[in-house]
Amino acid sequence: MWLQLPGARPQRRRPGPSGQAVDRATRAILPSMSLVIDRVTKRFGPVVALDAMAFEVPRGQVFGFLGANGAGKTTTMRIALGALRADAGRITWGGTPTDALPRRTFGYLPEERGLYPRMTVLQQLTYFAGLYGLPRDLAVREARAWLARFRVPEFADRRAEQLSKGNQQKVQFLAAILHDPQVLLMDEPFTGLDPVNVSLLREAFLELRDRGKTLVFSTHQMEMAEAMCESVAIVDRGRVVVGGTLREVKRSTGRRMIRIGIEADHRLEWLATDVPGARVIRPGIDRSDVELEPGTEPDAVLAAAIARGLRVSHFELVDPSLEQVFIDHVGRPADEEFTLAASGAPDASAAPGSSAGSESESAA
């Protein structure tokens, strides 16, 4: 059972074989369907930005591209867009190298965001859509519709310099999608947005996915990826460390965890003596996360609690958080810098529904 995520569509399509570091088998199965990053290497002078980066984004999915700053996320996207050339390897969409496809195939929301300060929102949107080949009248109609969707129809005739950063970001997002691209590449789309706008943007993502678009976004906010992505790739120093469906990735560390709730006991002091292979890693008043060492079965914890006569109010097997998985693989959190800088920026984890989502299973 998939835990229902707030804002997600009710009937979730089962994610296809995905996100794996590309191997021959997957490429044979899905040559014409997906965005394939095929062992792409890119150097900038002495710096190796991408070191045989390889993963695959299944068509029609929301894909999380996770890594710290400097991991190679932006460079990968720029190569996919044809703005940079790979030293080795290639990126294909539906089997065709992306730089041989029309530009309108892709929409790009860069991390470094900017608009023409003196042009009105509508002028900018029709300008960018025009470059992608969208006729003006259609662009105007689409732009107005989307502005209304984002609850800011009055922005149409405002100059970009009159908008707040967050609202400029929404306009940039519209500039990336107005021409109805098949693949949407977004670099840190949620950074700098307040919770209300985060949820507006999430809804837009899911709607685009339901229209069959493929969405790739980079982030160092694991909660965001956990809440939205069907597949992810964790990258570090230009390489994919682990990739696949969210579940596969979460289980990739071999960590086994349970979440347990005991009535009138939140300290679980008995656990250390009764079950030596179990350790509380995230204590909570209501429920606590407990990690099990190899050889220690979940049943042992349950049995120990019952043997002590405690009333178990909650017990489930859980996967580690993506955050934990990231630290396990990379050796440090992805958002170190984000945490440091977080005083100014709105905390995305405060967004509705963004922190709750982790896939979990009930204990039979």
- What is the closest distance, in whole angstroms, from the C-beta atom of residue 183 to another protein in the complex? 11
- What is the closest distance, in whole angstroms, from the C-beta atom of residue 219 to another protein in the complex? 17
In our burial notation (b when 16+ CB lie closer than 10 A, e otherwise), range 198-231 reads: bbbbbebbbebbeeebbbbbbbbbbbbbbbbbbb
Nearer to another protein, 63 or 128 (CB): 128
- What is the closest distance, in whole angstroms, from the C-beta atom of residue 93 to another protein in the complex? 13
Q: Which helix (H) or strand (E) holds 289?
A: strand 288-292
Distances (CA, A) of 147 to 5, 167, 199, 237: 26, 10, 15, 38
Nearer to another protein, 89 or 261 (CB): 89
* C-beta of residue 330 within 8 angstroms of C-beta of residue 236: yes
> How would you classify the pairing of strands 288-292 and 256-262?
antiparallel
- What is the closest distance, in whole angstroms, from the C-beta atom of residue 274 to another protein in the complex? 57
Longest dimension (CA), the chain: 73
Nearer to another protein, 17 or 82 (CB): 82
- What is the closest distance, in whole angstroms, from the C-beta atom of residue 168 to another protein in the complex? 10
* Footprint of another protein (CB under 8 A): 42-45, 78, 81-85, 87, 97, 99-101, 103, 106-108, 110-119, 127-128, 130-132, 172, 175-176
| CA–CA separation, 346 and 349 (whole Å) | 9
| CA–CA separation, 244 and 153 (whole Å) | 39
- What is the closest distance, in whole angstroms, from the C-beta atom of residue 186 to another protein in the complex? 11
Nearer to another protein, 123 or 253 (CB): 123
| CA–CA separation, 146 and 35 (whole Å) | 26
- What is the closest distance, in whole angstroms, from the C-beta atom of residue 222 to another protein in the complex? 25
Tell me the Ramachandran region of residue 40: left when phi exceeds 0, alpha when psi lies from -120 to 50, beta otherwise: beta
Distances (CA, A) of 72 to 51, 53, 79: 9, 9, 11
- What is the closest distance, in whole angstroms, from the C-beta atom of residue 154 to another protein in the complex? 22
Nearer to another protein, 15 or 189 (CB): 189
* C-beta of residue 209 within 8 angstroms of C-beta of residue 62: yes
Nearer to another protein, 2 or 116 (CB): 116
| CA–CA separation, 73 and 185 (whole Å) | 10
In our burial notation (b when 16+ CB lie closer than 10 A, e otherwise), range 111-136 reads: eebebeeeebbbbbbbebbeebebee
Nearer to another protein, 201 or 322 (CB): 201
Nearer to another protein, 182 or 360 (CB): 182
